[in-house]
A and B are shown apart, each in its own frame.
Chain A
Amino acid sequence: KNQVEQSPQSLIILEGKNCTLQCNYTVSPFSNLRWYKQDTGRGPVSLTIMTFSENTKSNGRYTATLDADTKQSSLHITASQLSDSASYICVVSANSGYSTLTFGKGTMLLVSP
């Protein structure tokens, strides 16, 4: 069964600090891994998409890494801002098809002033 596990479940950090969120997956056959940011009551917004051949990808202060061998990914947030407070969801796509996205339960990040 395809699964995506995220840790920690929730995290509180001070504004300006860095943090790293983790994602472990067992999805086969693997196609790509995405990180989404979801504000409360809003739809998810894509941050990064990586295929198995990509080890790292950045989007502003967000940097995602992928280790396809260990089936692990991380999302590093640099110099956090209050607006970074949201749920960060790791989503893994299997090869082809429409209903092939496996969602993690997300990490709820709170950036405190």
Chain B
Amino acid sequence: DTEVTQTPKHLVMGMTNKKSLKCEQHMGHRAMYWYKQKAKKPPELMFVYSYEKLSINESVPSRFSPECPNSSLLNLHLHALQPEDSALYLCASSQAGGPSGYNEQFFGPGTRLTVL
């Protein structure tokens, strides 16, 4: 199984809502990532988890809260978002040690988030 799955595919939420994005992989990868991608822009790294521990937070606002409950799952909890947070949110995974060498990153299909 070389697939990263993400749910939901689409999400529309108001600025006062609380929602969660989910990501799952069964490739035995111990590094998982959240990216944010605006239209016609490259993905921007948000968070990295390594062995279920937060390794990198790229100065992401606290209204985004990541969680890695086990080695296969990665969540992104959303609260009090702003309209400018509307974007495609991508999850990725790789072998532990990061994407250097041949540690390829596998991306999920993304969740299209719209904040009203």
Q: Which residues of A contact B (CB under 8 A)?
A: 31-32, 34, 36, 41-46, 49, 51, 89, 93-101, 103-106, 108
Contacts and interface: CB of A to CB of B under 8 A. Distances in A.
Contact of B101 (A31, A36, A44, A108): A31
User: What 4 pairs across the A-B complex have the smallest Cβ distances?
Assistant: A103-B42, A43-B107, A98-B98, A98-B48
A40 to B, nearest CB: 9
A38 to B, nearest CB: 8
Given A41-B88, A43-B4, A43-B109, A32 B98 contact: no
Nearest to A87: B40
Given A98-B31, A98-B48, A98-B50, A44 B100 contact: no
B108 A93 contact: no
21 contacts: A32-B102, A34-B104, A41-B110, A42-B109, A42-B110, A43-B4, A43-B92, A43-B107, A46-B104, A49-B104, A51-B102, A93-B100, A94-B100, A96-B97, A98-B33, A99-B45, A99-B48, A101-B99, A103-B42, A105-B41, A106-B42
Interface in B71-116: 88, 90, 92, 97-102, 104-110, 112
Contacts of A105: 40-42
Interface of B: 4, 6, 31, 33, 40-43, 45, 48, 50, 55-56, 58, 88, 90, 92, 97-102, 104-110, 112
A93 B92 CA distance: 15
B110 A32 contact: no
A45 B48 contact: no
B27 to A, nearest CB: 13
B48 to A, nearest CB: 4
